[in-house]
Amino acid sequence: MTQGVLHGITILDLSMFIAGPFGTMLLADLGAEVIKIEPPGGDPVRSNKIGAQVRGENAQFHSYNRNKKSLVLDLKSAAGLAVFDELVESADVVFDNFRPGVLERLKVDHARLAKINPAIVSCSVSAFGQDGPWAKRAGYDLTVQALGGGMSLTGHDSSGPAHIPFHLGDTAGGLFGALGLLAALAERHRTGKGRRVDVAMFDTQVALLGDEITNYFATGVPSPPHGAGHPNFFPYQAFATADEAIVIAAVGVEKYWVAFCTAIGRPELAADARFSSNASRVAHRDVLEPLVADTLSRKTRAEWLEIFADADVPAAPIQSVAEAAASPQTVARRMVPKIDLDGTTIAVAGNPIKVGDDETAYAAAPVLGADGPAILRARLGYDDAKIAALRADGVIG
């Protein structure tokens, strides 16, 4: 097993919940040493008793904290802050997802840390960033999805908006945070100086709107809810079959539309001038969509998928989480690895970044404070007596 492309990079991870831990987990998967510095009592997600439990902790904690080490440290105490300062001297990154102002109160803000280690990179992922009128507001995955415009596009006219349930507000924040700190590390390689990276979860939602922003300012017309399709493309949506729904994406190049019409036994649709281009198909959607829907309702999902595969028409089933996890492509790409947890096997979502022939190693999320003594001995040279004294004073867990 290789060490990973980020071997030698040390990240002091002050983040909790999802956004920060997701970003640092990706970096840990790639070989960085991520030391999760937890307050006494640990990351609150550990003790959340609602939902699936693993090792007496919430399964969500294990979803976003693999491959890390845990050190319990009371940063509110002078002795705890002194230990943290010593760790900063040889670290590369300090990562947090606190509200603006918290770092200054804890005395772990970038301005102060840069005096200890000018090469340190600090990365903060917060709901609204370090400035602007909303900076100090509380924010969560759901609220940034709503404020960022994305929820106006999801759902259906009949049922109203729907949020994306796999924590897109949080995970996008963590992902952009990881990207930003890697850029800062690349610059430090040239200059020897660290930087402060500021990522707002709200900003990431606006950034991910992409062409929706461009389309709106080009037309002045807001996009309606997209449902299971897209208003600017046809056929590019879900359709009912004789049993289960299917998605068709026969757009992009006209050969797909022609192949689709042939495959469903309706070649006359491809020859009809009203449907000769994507623009004309969208303009005549009210006529064309019922014709396509009626045809697709006559065979089962499995029958259509076989037909479309043979015709090279982009189509897919709408898989459940269980089906997606068990699919042959998922297995081939090693995207649902198994982790041994004290004799119990758990499955996690894998890292999608593949680097050369490196195999990603997946280790269980750390037990609260389990790595503290080893970290203090190896990185700071503390002896057992000093560690015992810090523990007795409640500085470390």
* 230 tagged catalytic: yes
> Which residue among the candidates 163, 226, 230, 284 is catalytic per the annotation?
230
Q: What's the rounded Cα separation, in Å, for the pair 43 and 61?
A: 8
Per-residue 3-state assignment (H helix, E strand, C coil) for the chain: CCCCCCCCCEEEECCCCCHHHHHHHHHHHCCCEEEEEECCCCCHHHHCCCCCEECCEEHHHHHHCCCEEEEEECCCCHHHHHHHHHHHHHCCEEEECCCCCHHHHHCCCHHHHHHHCCCCEEEEEECCCCCCCCCCCCCCHHHHHHHCCHHHCCCECCCECCCCCCCHHHHHHHHHHHHHHHHHHHHHHHHCCCCEEEEEHHHHHHHHCCHHHHHHHHHCCCCCCCCCECCCCCCEEEECCCCCCEEEECCCCHHHHHHHHHHCCCHHHHHCHHHCCHHHHHHCHHHHHHHHHHHHCCCCHHHHHHHHHHHCCCEEECCCHHHHHHCHHHHHCCCCCEEEECCEEEECCCCCCCCCCCCCCCCCCCCCCCCHHHHHHHHHCCCHHHHHHHHHCCCEC
Neighbouring CB atoms inside 10 A of 167's CB total: 22
User: How far is Cα 10 from Cα 142, in angstroms, rounded to an integer?
Assistant: 31
Active site residues: 230
